[in-house]
A = this chain, B = another copy of it.
Amino acid sequence: MRRFVLIGQTASASGDFSLEDLPSTSGRLDVLLRAIRAALLISHGLRRDVQVFLVLRGSVTSSRILRVDGRTAKFLRPDERSLATLVRKTLLALPTPGPSFSEVRPGLELRTGDITELLAEVGSSPCYLLDEAAPDVRQQAFSSDDAWFFIGDHLGFDVVTLALLERHGATRISVGPTSLHSDDVVTLVSNELDRRFTKPASELA
């Protein structure tokens, strides 16, 4: 299972935002929505072996984590408005989530929590932190694609999150010389894992 964690420094956790102006009203939740598409949706299909975790730190007193699980997700469409609508309904349906994941819609689960709770879930699994100055993902040895990838939003990581990831032993990797949007980073990591662990359709016959 590939797991992508996106840290939304200001992203709305309440669902109280406008579909007509997502960037301004949702604390840039749009950045994270595009990462859901990049992680889970492929041409005419859905990656069943991927989970996406959005850490939503905006608009509520305690952070929440939205998990989108490729094994059980339904009705995921690639356009941003459809994804925003689905996430908004999920957040509004459970205004006071508990401390463990609760499924609100197929494959969309919600809990309170932040990076500390996620790192407890990571345990001893391989764990990577996307950092522009780090060694190239193409040079990184992966024993399998059972791994966690932590990616910042348009504001990057805060020092506390970085320190916690560092203490957990996350390996820093980068995806190239240009500073890219979060969804492009997800696409590039996914492609590298596909090249290592996915057989082309032509060889599966």
Give the B-binding residues of A (Cβ under 8 A). 20-23, 30-31, 34, 37-38, 41-45, 77-82, 132-133, 154, 175-181, 184, 187-188, 190-191, 194-195, 198-202
* A178 partner residues in chain B, CB cutoff 8 A: 42, 190-191, 194, 198
| Distance in angstroms between the alpha carbons of A98 and B198 in the assembled complex | 47
Pick from B42, B81, B181: contact of A80, CB under 8 Å: B81
Asked if B191 contacts A43 (CB within 8 A), the reply is no
| Distance in angstroms between the alpha carbons of A23 and B81 in the assembled complex | 10
* A187 partner residues in chain B, CB cutoff 8 A: 180, 184, 187-188
| Distance in angstroms between the alpha carbons of A76 and B31 in the assembled complex | 15
Q: A201 and B179 in contact (CB under 8 A), knowing A154-B43, A184-B38?
A: yes
* A22 partner residues in chain B, CB cutoff 8 A: 79, 81
CB distance from A150 to the nearest CB of B (A): 17
CB distance from A189 to the nearest CB of B (A): 11
* A37 partner residues in chain B, CB cutoff 8 A: 34, 181
* A179 partner residues in chain B, CB cutoff 8 A: 42-45, 201
Residue of B nearest to A82 (CB): B23
CB distance from A85 to the nearest CB of B (A): 10
Pick from B20, B78, B177: contact of A81, CB under 8 Å: B20
Pick from B38, B175, B176, B198: contact of A177, CB under 8 Å: B198
Instruction: Sample 28 A-B pairs with CB under 8 A, ordered by A number.
Output: A20-B81, A22-B79, A23-B77, A23-B79, A31-B78, A34-B78, A38-B184, A42-B181, A42-B184, A43-B154, A43-B179, A44-B179, A78-B181, A79-B80, A80-B80, A132-B201, A133-B202, A176-B191, A176-B195, A177-B194, A177-B195, A177-B199, A177-B201, A178-B190, A180-B187, A180-B191, A184-B187, A187-B188
